[in-house]
Amino acid sequence: MKTLSLPPTLGDNDWGANQLRTSHLKVLTLTTLFPNHRFPLHGLFVKARMEEVAKLCEVEVVAPVPFFPPLRVSERYYNYSQVVREEWMGGMRVYHPRFFLLPKVGKGLDGLLLFLSIYPAVKKLYRRFPFDLLDVHFAYPDGYAGYLLARALKKPYTVTIRGSDVNLFPQYPVRRQLIRRALSNANRVIAVCQALKDAAVALDVPADHIVVVPNGVDLTRFFPVNKQEARRTVNLPPERRIILSVGHLCERKGFHLLIEAMPTLLQKVGHDLLLVIVGGNVFEGDFLTFLKNKVAELRLDDHVLLVGPKSPEELRFWYSAADLFCLASSREGWPNVCFESLACGVPVVATNIWGTPEVICSPDYGLLVDERTPKALAAGIERGLQTTWDARKMIDYARQHTWANVARQVLSVFESVCQTTNEPMSQ
């Protein structure tokens, strides 16, 4: 069994903050959306929230990974086999039990298989860490597995809904029923935007059981850098106007639509325009090759850069180097990239879908595009480039949404649940 037990020392800033906890609550977070040493960029928004919550109460994390034997038939699944069973991240002990997954088939069984796979490990963990509440992220399969775990262990649980779990998965009848059961039986559902709360209500989840707590932004990572300094740092041309887009390379992020919008923009705005796309392939396929072919087909080699994935520590330079940030998604819960851009003082042009208008809630922060087409995106980008923006307003707005503020709201929900269910908090 591989174990990486590296508890932080008291000199570690994150761990030192934990000594000032204000609550005796013990929380076990269950999520398959969590980074590990093999997939360090996976589910960073969950880690960011729970790092801050862990400064207020005691948190441990169960972050299951799919079981796969250590065979190099697939780089992705081989990496899963190499994930350690236990590690420390941000002052939290994180466990990575294995669960059985049926790739591409039998998705209605994923929640049950997740529960059956991790129940022995969680039951054993409970003897050492008698948690008061189960904090689950994503409605399916995590939410349904959390529902079964909470029943088995007789503990209250919350589920945080984040996007595809309620705006995509419910189109599949079996998953729809399991999601409804997981959310309806939760002691509280946390939605990261009002649009997702509305979607949950449409699934017959009681509205008074749902609270909206948006994601936050890490101001230690995302802050303005002088534009020319930022461009030198990431080796971008100092004289060109730059549009930036960031995200996993997949169809729903709309990078192909931005590329298709470029010929129109070059005609209307000027040939100094440069589109920079930051991100790598996700597990669904090789979208990078598709985008490269699209660039070649439209003869845009001098106007589109595909620079690959970048670490969170690097991203502020890419944001600060841009004149405009663009998000062309078909669906989003709470788009963290928009707040990251605003925190760096860069305005946003985005598709008007799901939680995005709750982020871009003022014309001081950016523009919303009602149609997800190259023509509409080109028009929005053209207008954005012609607008005079006040960077200070954007930065001040983003600074109201820190992860520390989010954590206080989340802890309030947790404590309310435990008090309502008469679950005694650990002393």
In this structure, what CATH number is given to the domain that contains residue 248? Answer: 3.40.50.2000
Question: Average pLDDT by consecutive 10-residue portion of the chain (427 residues)?
Answer: 36 42 91 90 91 96 89 72 89 93 80 96 96 97 97 97 88 93 97 95 95 95 97 97 96 96 97 96 81 97 96 96 97 91 98 94 97 97 97 96 95 94 52
Question: What pTM was estimated for this model as a whole?
Answer: 0.87
Pair 46, 187 in one domain: yes
Pair 306, 364 in one domain: yes
4 in a domain, yes or no? no
| DSSP structure class, residue 298 | T
Pair 204, 246 in one domain: no
Pairwise CA distance, residues 397 & 305, whole Å: 30
Which tokens go with 148?
Answer: 């079964």
Pair 59, 195 in one domain: yes
175 in a domain, yes or no? yes
Pairwise CA distance, residues 270 & 42, whole Å: 37
221 in a domain, yes or no? no
Q: What is the pLDDT of residue 230?
A: 98
Pairwise CA distance, residues 376 & 42, whole Å: 31
Q: What is the pLDDT of residue 213?
A: 96
Q: What backbone phi and psi angles, to 5 degrees, belong to 232?
A: -65, -40
Which tokens go with 183?
Answer: 């959310």
Q: What is the pLDDT of residue 284?
A: 59
Whether residue 234 contacts residue 213, with contact meaning beta carbons closer than 8 Å, is answered with: no
Pair 208, 63 in one domain: yes
Pair 235, 380 in one domain: yes
7 in a domain, yes or no? no
Pair 113, 245 in one domain: no
Q: In terms of residue numbers, what domain contains 236?
A: 227-398
Pair 332, 265 in one domain: yes
86 in a domain, yes or no? yes
How many other C-beta atoms are found inside a 10 Å radius of the C-beta of residue 26?
17
Q: What is the pLDDT of residue 283?
A: 63
| DSSP structure class, residue 356 | H
1 in a domain, yes or no? no
Pair 199, 179 in one domain: yes
The packing angle between helices 227-234 and 312-321, to 10°, is 120
Q: What is the pLDDT of residue 93?
A: 96
Q: What is the pLDDT of residue 205?
A: 95
Centroid of chain to Cα 386: 31
308 in a domain, yes or no? yes
Pair 394, 408 in one domain: no
Q: What is the pLDDT of residue 298?
A: 97
Pairwise CA distance, residues 263 & 267, whole Å: 6
Would you say the C-alpha torsion 54, 59, 65, 70 has a positive or negative sign? positive
At 330, is the secondary structure helix, strand, or coil? coil
Q: How many domains does the chain have?
A: 2
Residues 6+ apart with CB under 8 A from 417: 133, 156, 158, 187, 188, 423
Whether residue 279 contacts residue 288, with contact meaning beta carbons closer than 8 Å, is answered with: no
Q: What is the pLDDT of residue 49?
A: 96
Q: Is 281 exposed, middle or buried (0-12, 13-18, 19+ CB in 10 A)?
A: middle
279 in a domain, yes or no? yes
Pair 201, 249 in one domain: no
Q: What is the 3-state secondary structure (H, E, C) of 158-219?
A: EEEECCHHHHCHHHCHHHHHHHHHHHHHCCEEEECCHHHHHHHHHCCCCHHHEEECCCCECC
Which tokens go with 408?
Answer: 């206080």
Pair 194, 298 in one domain: no
